[in-house]
Amino acid sequence: MSGLLIAELTKIRTLPATWIALALTVLGNTVLGILAATDIVRVASADGEVAVGQLGTLMLAPAYVFIAIAVFAAGTEYRGGQLRISLAAMPDRTRCFGSKLAVSAVVALVAAIPAVLPGLLVQHGAAGDLASGRTAVDLFALLAGYLLLSLCGFGFAFLARGVVTPLAVLSVLPVLASTTLNGLFPLLVRFLPHEATLSLLDRPADPATALSREAGLLVLIGWALLFVGAAWALVVRRDS
């Protein structure tokens, strides 16, 4: 098992997409943190001009770049028949999948710290509440949100056998759902991964779709378990 874990970590570490996604996420969160802290930019909306920090979807946007780390870790298994080579080395599909899941989860959690911390420190530093408990709560929420969204992307990549579909769907669906379904089915929209993450971060896009932070966390955990569980079932049962 240790050999599988080391091999998977080496693969993720040597993928260019890993470092590109991490760098873009750090940059995006830092820039958004500065804009939210200084309030030098406002965005026009139906309710007038809104501060950047109040736009939950915009503040969460770097997360959809970040999940490319997990998506590429899983989706590249189908490039050139790589999964068949992995299974030849480890025929136990459950153990093989488990090693990939474990490493991807650890990498996502560790990488999320430098990805979200600069922007968070800028925001809370400008507000003068770095020493308050809110900073720790917000950091935990961001780390949990980034980890669970990454697990959704990880599972989706195995289901789609690639990287393009998961990244496209997970990035575009939040915008489409918020604009087309929010007014018609707000009770349904609030349980989608994007809206649940916004509730976890205490930045709901609309009061009608808001959940408590605890409920948002539970819903997002449910989505992660669903995607990862479905991916495990398919990896174990279908041809590579």
- 124: tokens are 């809370």
Tell me: the pLDDT tens digits for 133-153? 677 888 999 999 999 999 999
CB–CB of 111/22 below 8 Å? yes
pTM above 0.85, yes or no: yes
Nearest residue to 123 via CA among 56, 58, 31: 31
**Residue 181: what pLDDT?**
64
**Residue 204: what pLDDT?**
83
The per-residue b/e assignment along 155-182, b for 16 or more CB within 10 angstroms, e otherwise, is bbbbbbbbbeebbeebbeebeebbeeeb
**Residue 48: what pLDDT?**
59
**Residue 105: what pLDDT?**
95
**Residue 58: what pLDDT?**
83
- How many domains, in total, are found in the chain? 1
Provide the domain limits for residue 100: 2-237
Q: Which residues of the chain register pLDDT less than 50?
A: none
**Residue 45: what pLDDT?**
58
Please list the residues that pair with 50 across neighbouring strands: 43
